[in-house]
Structure formats: structure tokens, C-alpha cells
Amino acid sequence: MSNDARPDGGGRDRTYTIRLELVDEPGELLRALEPIAARGGNLLSIFHERGSLTPRGRIPVEVALEATPKGFETIVDALREAGVEVVQAGSERYSESLTVLLIGSLVDADLSDTLSDLERRADASVTDVSLSAPEGTDGASTARIRLATTEADRTLSIVHDAAAEKGLSVIEPLTAGASR
């Protein structure tokens, strides 16, 4: 979608995040994504934590999308009308992207818990994760994690702290503006 003003008066596209809680049943994720696509939302990322449950016993899902402000309101209303549990819906103001590698026994360290912890502590959003485990779940593995954040230096510090707590190593790519 273009970031130009819409001819229909809907305004410029903005980035939003919607946090959902889904029942662990086949088709629930698709049911939650259909109202977004049907109303012109441009999906940026989906973070689906099937291994974690909320206090209500549901699966947490975070969806990042682009839409006009008016379109976003329509999407949230349509999700609620479809019976999808919308826990939080709002504008993202992440201006920086940060990519790091975590290396170690990621399976034993519970990668899903680590990612949730980073989002909570750093006020960041996990936008992409790639896992490589050439020795299977018993050996060392590597996760490439891309985070969207407002404060890259603070987020990087929190990544290092979280990794140290779980006995993991961090490799951070050299990027412009990095202070470490």
C-alpha cells in the first residue's frame, strides 16, 4: 500500500499492532486474519506463540499491519464482531529495526519465553525469527531475531541481559548508529 493520502479520505497508512488471544483449535488463526485482509490491512508480521498460553488458556498472537486510521478502526470492529478476542489494539511508533543472533541451548532456554521476555522488558516487537539447529534440539542452536523498537541501544542492552540470564551468547551485527 502507498503511504500517500488516500483519495477516499482515509488518510495515510500507519503501522499498528493488534494483540489477540485465540482458542487452540484448527482454523482460528485464519479466522482472525480474514477480517484484516478483507478490510485492506497490509500484514507486516505475525507472532504466533503456540507453545505459550495466556492466563485464560488461550494462545497469544501479535499481528503488525499497515492501514489507514479509519481502516484500522474498521478492522478492530470486524475482529470483535467475528468473536476474536482483541486484547490490545493500537499504533506502533517503532522507528528502528535491530537484528541480533542468539547462540546456545535455545530449546532448553525456551526460545518462546525469551522472545516474550524481550518484548515485555524492552517494549519492542519481534518482527522476524529464524532458528537453525544443525545438531537437533540437544545441541547448540542459533536464532536470528529482528526487533522493532524505539530505542535500539536500550533494547540491545536488554537483549544482552536476557541472554546472560539464560546462558546464551549474543552476536550483534554492525549497523550504523550502534554504540557497542
In a structure prediction context, what are the per-residue pLDDT tens digits for the chain, which is 180 residues long?
A: 444 444 444 567 888 989 898 998 999 999 999 999 999 999 998 988 777 777 678 888 999 999 999 999 999 999 999 999 888 887 655 557 788 999 999 888 888 888 888 888 887 778 778 889 888 777 889 999 988 777 888 889 999 999 999 999 999 864 544 444
Q: What integer pLDDT is reported at residue 108 of this predicted model?
A: 83
pLDDT at 94: 55
Other beta carbons within 10 angstroms of residue 142's beta carbon come to: 17
| Whole-number pLDDT of residue 93 | 54
Determine the Cα–Cα distance for residues 178 and 13; give it in Å rounded to an integer.
29
What residue ranges do the domains of the chain occupy? 14-91, 96-171
The CA distance from 176 to 18, in Å, is 30
The span from the CA of 73 to the CA of 104, in Å, is: 42
What pLDDT is stored for residue 54 in this prediction? 74
What pairs with residue 171 in β-bridges? 101
CATH number of 14-91: 3.30.70.260
Q: How many CA atoms lie within 13 A of 40 on its CB side?
A: 16
CATH superfamily of 96-171: ACT domain (3.30.70.260)
Q: Do domains 14-91 and 96-171 have the same CATH topology?
A: yes
